[in-house]
Chain A
Amino acid sequence: MRLVHWLLAGLITFSWWSVKNHHTDWHIWSGIAILTLLIFRLLWGFVGSSTARWTSFVRGPRAVIGYLRGRWRGIGHTPLAALSVVAMFLAVAVQVGLGLISEDEDGLYTGPLAGLVGIDTSDAARDIHEQWFYVILGLVVLHLAAILFYRLRGQGLTWPMITGRARAAPGTTAMRPGKWWVALICLAVALAISRWVVAGAPPFSPS
């Protein structure tokens, strides 16, 4: 899961760089790789390690307020951070979805699913795709600001995100790691779905 995080950070940076430097083909493949990561993370959120499961860390507004008042003891994402995780996940998913149906201004580069929608939809998707980047950028800035905020309050978050180790309050149950073969199955499924998307999503491909 930490690996997914850093790959995602790297690929989003690469996507931005490649499109700014007119490597549109690399940009498209980077988007496909991000799609694979998102599918993997989605599945891992159901069958993965205890702290990765959506049901273990996504909480309602009452828990978020409770956390802000200092009533939260646990490991992994806090209820507030869960909102950030979900927001970033959805924002990147929207971005990938828009990219898949986009085409460039000249019609020379197309997302693998652009053929499923009309020309106007493709062109509109590209315009939104360009603007939506700022939504992602905003969330990333917020994410980094939060890390800095915790650092200033004496809680470093970057190192645990690299090593996976953090000091927990006494009495907390340790995380239950996921099984490697479950991760492998999730990865295989994610790759298979991505491969299917690259092929234009048969049998829905244009007829």
Chain B
Amino acid sequence: MRIQLVAATALVSLTAASVAFAGLPKTKALAIMHERHEGMEKIGDTNKLLRREIISSSPFMPAIQSGAATIAGLSVRANGWFPKGTGPELGKTGAKPEIWQKPQDFTAKLRSFQAAAQAFNAAARSGDMNAIKARYADLGGACKACHDSYRSEMHH
């Protein structure tokens, strides 16, 4: 009886472990989380630079254009940043579990961020300051919309 129980327990834990590993190896998952963190931080830092240029009375256009290109590029990379198994259950992250509970809504918000980033990049290349300001506001709105639901505070 006891042996059976032990065997059953072992089987269950083995199955659980294999299911966990079937998704994503831990080192790979951690690497993705790291890349995601660095990428998001880069987007945030670039955004801070951009804001200062955009509110300036004499904005430096090349800085705006390079910042817009950086964010547009990273927004595409973000497609690979949220595989299952890279949530807070694995390690420290600002990504909320809701990302994987409401994948459709999350993906829609990710798409709208990517669209806003591309539109802002196009405006930056045109050099039209009014368009830049408008698309920059849209981009900020897209960031906020997603962060409000799916980003938690993370101090590091």
Instruction: Write the residues of chain A forming the contact surface with B, with a CB cutoff of 8 angstroms.
Output: 22, 103, 105-108, 110, 115, 119, 122, 200, 205-207
Indicate which residue in B44, B49, B51, B140 contacts A105 across the interface (CB closer than 8 Å).
B44
Nearest CB to that of B46 among chain A residues? A107
Give A110 to B55 CA distance when docked, in angstroms. Answer: 12
Nearest CB to that of B40 among chain A residues? A106
Q: 1/0 contact trace for B47-85 toward A, CB 8 Å? A: 111011001111000000000000000000000000000
Contacts of B48 in A (CB 8 A): 103, 107, 119, 122
Give A110 to B58 CA distance when docked, in angstroms. Answer: 20
- B45 close to A (CB within 8 Å): yes
Give A107 to B139 CA distance when docked, in angstroms. Answer: 12
Contacts of B43 in A (CB 8 A): 106
Q: Are B148 and A200 in contact (CB under 8 A)?
A: no
Give A122 to B48 CA distance when docked, in angstroms. Answer: 10
Nearest CB to that of A106 among chain B residues? B44
3 pairs of A and B residues whose beta carbons are closest in the complex: A107-B48, A107-B47, A106-B44
- B144 close to A (CB within 8 Å): yes
- B147 close to A (CB within 8 Å): yes
A interface secondary structure, majority: loop
Q: Are B55 and A207 in contact (CB under 8 A)?
A: no
Nearest CB to that of B58 among chain A residues? A207
Give A107 to B51 CA distance when docked, in angstroms. Answer: 8
Indicate which residue in B55, B143, B144 contacts A200 across the interface (CB closer than 8 Å).
B55
Give A115 to B55 CA distance when docked, in angstroms. Answer: 8
Contacts of B55 in A (CB 8 A): 115, 200, 205-206
Indicate which residue in B47, B56, B57 contacts A106 across the interface (CB closer than 8 Å).
B47
B interface secondary structure, majority: helix
Give A205 to B45 CA distance when docked, in angstroms. Answer: 21
Q: 1/0 contact trace for B130-156 toward A, CB 8 Å? A: 000000000010011001100000000
Give A108 to B140 CA distance when docked, in angstroms. Answer: 6
Q: Are B148 and A207 in contact (CB under 8 A)?
A: no
Give A105 to B43 CA distance when docked, in angstroms. Answer: 11
Q: Are B148 and A119 in contact (CB under 8 A)?
A: no
Q: A119-B45, A205-B57 are in contact. Are A108 and B52 (CB under 8 A)?
A: no
Contacts of A119 in B (CB 8 A): 45, 48-49, 52
Q: A105-B44, A106-B44, A107-B47 are in contact. Are A206 and B143 (CB under 8 A)?
A: no
CB distance from A48 to the nearest CB of B (A): 37
Contacts of B52 in A (CB 8 A): 115, 119, 206
Q: Are A206 and B56 in contact (CB under 8 A)?
A: yes
Q: A22-B148, A119-B52, A200-B55 are in contact. Are A108 and B47 (CB under 8 A)?
A: yes
Give A52 to B140 CA distance when docked, in angstroms. Answer: 44
Give A103 to B43 CA distance when docked, in angstroms. Answer: 15
Contacts of A122 in B (CB 8 A): 48
- A sample of 5 cross-chain residue pairs with beta-carbon separation below 8 angstroms, ordered by A number, consists of A106-B44, A106-B143, A106-B147, A115-B55, A206-B55
